[in-house]
Structure 1
Amino acid sequence: MDYQMITDWLFDLYSASPIPFYIAAGILAALTLWQPLKMLKRALLVLVLLVVLSVCFYLIDSMMSGVDIKQKASNRSIEQIEK
């Protein structure tokens, strides 16, 4: 999965207004210091969910490219039969 579009969007958003990012980082730091075990569990859950989503998107992308390859191959064989 290509994350370039997401990183570009986040960088543009940060360049336009960095204050919400600082506030979010402060809130996360405060929550981590206040309840570290609960935050670590949540962070682990979020990371696992991101990995699962990335794998799903990768599988969907590979299936779509396989369908495209089959379609191109069938078009070539149809063209060769018509000749």
Structure 2
Amino acid sequence: MKNDIDTKTLLNVYEQIQKHGEQTEKGKLYQGLYAYSDIDGYTVYIEGSGVLLRFGFHNTYHLDYQSDKNKEDFMNKVLSIAHQD
């Protein structure tokens, strides 16, 4: 998946999850999505619905998923959070 999601939207969703989410061992959990970062903070992750999104250096991201259904569910959650507030 390349350039399907605006990077500003991804950062906004990450921040919304951090702001409104419940702390877990994995990271903050909000509306079925986890958000966390690596130790140095250069790479952030959004995970849920069988999808792992890595967002990092030079505003690039990569999605790992097994099926299009997983990707669709994940994207619906991301867009739902993006349209809040």
Provide TM-score, normalisation by structure 1: 0.28
State which structure, 1 or 2, has the greater radius of gyration over its C-alpha atoms.
1
Richer in helix (by share): 1
Richer in strand (by share): 2
With a CA cutoff of 8 Å and minimum separation of 6, indicate the structure with the bigger relative contact order.
1
